[in-house]
């Protein structure tokens, strides 16, 4: 899955705006193999907290630092250490049936 963004027109303090994506936001069916973040803006990462707790979240080191800063200073959701997977430039990773290169 690429990005789990909070829609820009939704109040982040309101009800859970997560769409019914089987395996990512609900407990129906098998979990997705991984969630990849393109960058740290809330419209790309704002629904991480609503995703299944054991789905790994892949991101660059820079995105990881931005999400950490957002969680510390702007009350944005963080990514638990156990879920955080760092992508290294030009180093491919295998996730499910895919090979992904940052």
Domain boundaries along the sequence of the chain: 1-102
Mean pLDDT value across residues 65-70 = 94
Supply the Cα-derived Rg of the chain in whole angstroms.
13
Q: What is the mean pLDDT of the chain?
A: 89
pLDDT at residue 29, as a whole number: 82
- What three-state secondary structure class fits 70? helix
pLDDT at residue 11, as a whole number: 67
In whole angstroms, give the CA distance from residue 87 to residue 60.
5
pLDDT for residue 12 is more than 90: no
The token duo for 27 is: 């407990």
Looking at domain 1-102, its CATH architecture is 4-Layer Sandwich (3.60)
Q: Are 57 and 84 in contact (CB under 8 A)?
A: yes
């Amino acid at each position: 899955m690429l990005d789990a963004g909070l829609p820009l027109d939704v109040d982040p303090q309101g009800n859970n705006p997560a769409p019914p994506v089987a395996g990512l936001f609900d407990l129906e069916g098998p979990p997705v193999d991984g969630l990849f973040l393109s960058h740290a803006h809330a419209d790309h990462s704002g629904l991480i907290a609503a995703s299944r707790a054991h789905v790994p979240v892949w991101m660059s080191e820079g995105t990881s630092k931005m999400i950490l800063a957002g969680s510390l200073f702007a009350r944005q959701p963080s990514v638990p250490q156990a879920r955080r997977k760092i992508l290294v430039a030009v180093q491919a990773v295998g996730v499910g049936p895919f090979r992904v290169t940052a």
